[in-house]
Amino acid sequence: MKQKSFISLKTKILTLIIGLILGIVLLLTTIYIYNEIQDERDKVEKLSLQVVKTLSFLPPIQHAFEHSPEDAKIILQQMRTQVGADALRITSKEGKSYSYPTRGSTISNVYDPINYKALTFGGYYLKEGKGVNGSSYIAKAPIVQENEDSEKIIGVVTAEFSKKSIYKEIWNKLHVVLFSSLVVVLLGIWGGILLTKSIRKDTLGLEPAEISSLYRERQAVIQSIKEGIVSIDREGYITTFNQSAKELLGLEEADSGQLLEHIYPQIGMKDVLMTGESKNNEECLINDRLLIVNVTPIIRKEKIIGGVASFRDKTELKKLVDKLSEVKKYSEDLRAQTHEFANKLHLLLGLLQLGYYDEAIAFIEEEYGFQKSQNDALFQKIVDHKVQGMLLGKIGKASEKKIHFTIDENSSLHQIPEHIETSELTVIIGNLIDNAFEAVRSMDREKKVSFFITDLGQDIIIEVEDNGEGICDEQISVIFQSSFSTKGKDRGYGLTNVKRAVAHLHGEIEVQSEKGKRTIFTVYLPKEIKGA
């Protein structure tokens, strides 16, 4: 069968782990870069202000515009090297400036508002702007020349720190973070692979979709089984049961998760879980029903991990056996009838061959008259085909055993009520007739058995009479017991089955017997059951 495509468990877990790790790494890296930029920015801002302040107080810087600027240039070069600035510059009020990297002595007419503020108000200023190496942090401080009785601002010191250098520094640090992140991702993938292998080992190599499909199939199979099925875990708690188990054991959905041993200790599930030995075809009385119980432990790697119990109603099995016995008897009766007709045909053939034509005609007329009377009662007044077929078989069997078996011409059976199954009716009739045949089997005098049935009135009445030796009063009270027989071991003639079938149909059975003369069995089956 072609399976539907699905994403494997391994792919799902690895995708989840990789996605989760990458998300966390991306978030942490973003936070790290943001914090580093802020830290570096604060550091550069403080450093640039400190540099311009320091330079503005140095005498060579203060006298650079009055004397030789060489000393100032040397200081600018040294300071730039020490602090890593992109550019250092001093500018006079007139716009004359010296810088490092050196550009020589230049005069700038470009208006710089920050320079103007520093020259005018004498404060320290910091801004972001375009420097010699692109976007930079630019700090400015006034150069103040002190005289004996006054101070004069003669210029401005400028320091530039390029943003590129900051980003380069952060990138150098980020290499370590990215390498660590890669290691974490690889470890996550490796852990995910180990996890999926462990899960697949526990699931016998099956994917979740396959497990769910098998579970649904298993549930369908369990529910379709006529036997009651109950499964338990290693502790003895009920995990699942089917509809048949509900009906046989009276279980409810609320019983799932309960200890089976507490609900039905007679099953012996605890012993099976402890010993690991199965129980087969043991009888167990549960809820007044005799059940056949089979208990099998579930073993994995030599460890008991649960168990399964199955239940069959012994009553149902007994009914099935009775039906099979009924079919067997029906077959034997038909065989006997066939054999008897063959004997009669042989007799007729012999009379014809010997030339006794009058005797042959008389024999035919006698058989025809008897069969006609029987057939009229059988086919015109008894309409059920199974009952007809069974009685036909009994007629043949009686003829074979030299028993005069008659069906009362006043018999009638037009319609069997819905609550009475034909199989139960044939069990009652068949066993009563067989019992009557056995009662007259060893007699020396004429053997007679009669059958009567009627559905007139509120009951179906069945009556079987024989002219056997009769039953004494002491035996009448025990003849319906399963072990009773007057003919030896394993002989009971089905009276127990008759009693059970009559009781199931809410009927009654009576026995009348005269020792040495006759016995009459009468069965009353109500057409309607009160309260049903």
- Order of strands, edge to edge, in the sheet holding 289-300? 238-241, 228-233, 303-313, 289-300, 279-286
pLDDT digits over 455-500, tens only? 888 899 999 999 988 888 778 877 877 555 555 444 444 788 888 8
Residue-wise DSSP of 287-313 = TTEEEEEEEEEEEETTEEEEEEEEEEE
Q: What pLDDT score does 72 carry?
A: 78
Question: 236: which DSSP letter?
Answer: S
Residue 511 φ/ψ, nearest 5 degrees: -130, 125
User: Strands 459-466, 448-454: parallel, antiparallel or unpaired by DSSP?
Assistant: antiparallel
Look at residue 465 and give its three-state secondary structure.
strand
Q: Strands (DSSP E) along 414-507, which ranges?
A: 448-454, 459-466
pLDDT digits over 367-388, tens only? 766 666 666 667 777 877 778 8
The length of the chain, given as a count of residues: 532
Alpha carbon distance 283, 70 (integer Å) = 118
Superfamily name and number for 9-169: PAS domain (3.30.450.20)
Alpha carbon distance 136, 116 (integer Å) = 19
Alpha carbon distance 456, 411 (integer Å) = 10
Alpha carbon distance 473, 510 (integer Å) = 13
- Contact in structure between 171 and 75 (CB atoms under 8 Å): no
- Contact in structure between 128 and 192 (CB atoms under 8 Å): no
Contacts of residue 127, defined as CB under 8 A and 6 or more positions apart, other chains included, come to 114, 137, 138
Look at residue 526 and give its three-state secondary structure.
strand
Count of other CB atoms within 10 angstroms of residue 361? 12
Tell me, letter by letter, the H, E, C secondary structure of 363-432.
HHHHHHHHHHHHHHHHHHCECCHHHHHHHHHHHHHHHHCCCEEEECCCCCECCCCCCCCHHHHHHHHHHH
Q: Return the closest-CA partner of residue 420 out of 528, 530, 531, 532.
A: 528
The amino acid at residue 154 is I
Q: Return the closest-CA partner of residue 339 out of 357, 331, 447.
A: 331
Q: What pLDDT score does 519 carry?
A: 92
Range list for CATH 3.30.565.10 in the chain: 356-526
- Buried/exposed code over 168-189 (b: 16+ C-beta within 10 A; e: otherwise): eebeeebeeeeeebeeeeeebe
Q: What pLDDT score does 419 carry?
A: 82
> The CATH number of 226-314 is which of 3.40.50.880, 3.40.50.300, 3.30.450.20, 3.30.43.10?
3.30.450.20
Place of tokens 């007699």: 443
Q: What is the mean pLDDT of each run of 10 residues along the chain (532 residues)?
A: 62 82 85 84 86 84 74 81 84 76 50 75 84 83 79 85 81 80 84 82 75 76 78 84 80 77 78 83 77 85 85 72 68 66 77 82 74 66 79 80 86 84 83 90 88 90 92 80 53 71 89 88 88 56
What six digits make up the tokens of 307? Answer: 């168990």
Q: What pLDDT score does 1 carry?
A: 42
Contacts of residue 200, defined as CB under 8 A and 6 or more positions apart, other chains included, come to 9, 10, 206
Alpha carbon distance 265, 238 (integer Å) = 13
Locate all alpha helices (DSSP H) within 122-255, ordered by sequence: 163-202, 208-224, 243-249
Range list for CATH 3.30.450.20 in the chain: 9-169, 226-314
The amino acid at residue 122 is G
Domain 356-526 sits in CATH 3.30.565.10: yes
